[in-house]
Amino acid sequence: MSRIAVYLLLAFAVVTVGFPVYYAFAGALMGPSELASYPPALLPHSVTGRNFAGAVHAIPLGRQYLNSAITATVITVAQLLTSILAAYAFVFLPLRARAAVFAVFLATLMVPWEAVIIPNYLTISGWGLGNTYFGLVLPFLASGFGTFMLRQSFRQFPAELRDAARIDGAGHWRFLWRVLVPLSKPSLAAIAVYVFLSAWNQYFWPLIITRTAQMQTLQIGMESLRDAEVADPGLVLAGVVLTLLPTLALVVLGQRFIVRGLTAGAVR
C-alpha cells in the first residue's frame, strides 16, 4: 500500500474518532442559535461561556463533583489498602489453603456485577444506606483485580532486599509499609489510576442507589441536564466537558500507568 494511502486512511480515522470529542468542546462554546443553525455550524463563531454557567445553574454540579470525588477517592484508597494486605498474605505469609483462597479472589473477577446488583441493592437499602455515601462505596472496598495485580508485583520483589530487611529486625508490618510499599509505587499507581477511573465513571450502581440530585454523582447528574433542557444541547455539552476534565487530565498525565493497568490481564 502506498504511503499516501496509509496517511489518508489514518487521517480519515482520526477525523471520525476525533469528531465527537471536538464537537463536545465546540458545541459547549456555541450559543443556542448556532447549535440549531442550518447548515450545521461546525466552528463556534462567537465563543460563549454561557453554557457552562447555565449547566452549573441547572444542576447542583458542584455538589455532584464532590460526590464523585469522594466516592472515587474512598473506593481507590480502600481498594489499595485491602489489596495490599491480601496480596501480602498471598506472597509473604504462610497459608495452608493458599490455592483455594486465591481461587476465591479470582472467581470474584468473573462474576458480572449486573448479576448480583439486585441483592446488593436490597442489602444496601435494607441497611438504610440508600442515597448515602456509604451506599455508594461499600460494595467496592475490595477487589480481586487489585489483589491479583499486586500479587504479581510482590512476587517479583527481590529476595535479597527482603532478607536484608529481616536481618535488620523488621517484622512483617514494618517490612510491608517501610520497604515493600514504597518500592512498589509504580504498580500501586497503575492500580490507583485504573480504579479511580472506573469508580469515577460508574453508572449502573449510582443510578439505582441514589435518589436525590444532591447525592447523585456527575455521571448521573449529567443526564438529568439533558432531560431538563431538551432544547439546549449547548448546556448538555458544557456539562459533559465539565465532567470530562478530571478524567481527561488523568488519561493524559497517567497514560503510561493506564497502559500498564489495562493490558495487565492480556497475554504476555
Partner 1 sequence: MPTARRSRRDWGERTLAWAFLTPSLVVFALFIGYPLGRTFYLSAHANDLFGAPSRYVGLRHYTDLLGSAEFHQTLVTTALFVLLTVVPGVVGALALVLLLESRIHGVRAFRSAFALPFAFSVASASVVFSVLYNPASGVLNGLLSQLGVAPVGWLTDQRYALLSVGAATIWMTLGYNVLVLSAGVGSIPQEITEAARLDGASGLRLARSVTVPLLGPHLFFLVVVSTINALQSFGQIHILTKGGPDGATRTLVYSVYEKAFAYGSSDFGTASAQAVVLLVVVLACAGVQFGVLERKVHYA
CB of 213 to partner 1, least distance (A): 15
- Beta carbons of 140 and 76 less than 8 angstroms apart: no
CB of 13 or CB of 161, closer to partner 1: 13
CB of 1 or CB of 167, closer to partner 1: 1
What does the DSSP 8-state code read for residue 140? Answer: G
Dist CA 212 CA 112 (whole Å): 27
DSSP secondary structure letters along 4-21: HHHHHHHHHHHHHHHHHH
CB of 6 to partner 1, least distance (A): 5
CB of 237 to partner 1, least distance (A): 6
Cα dihedral 217→223→226→228 (10° resolution): -60
CB of 254 to partner 1, least distance (A): 11
- Any alpha helices (H) in 59-116, and if so which ranges? 61-92, 98-110
Q: Give first-to-last CA distance, the chain, whole Å.
A: 30
CB of 124 to partner 1, least distance (A): 9
CB of 147 or CB of 184, closer to partner 1: 147
CB of 52 or CB of 105, closer to partner 1: 105
Q: Name residue 147's amino acid.
A: T
- Beta carbons of 141 and 75 less than 8 angstroms apart: yes
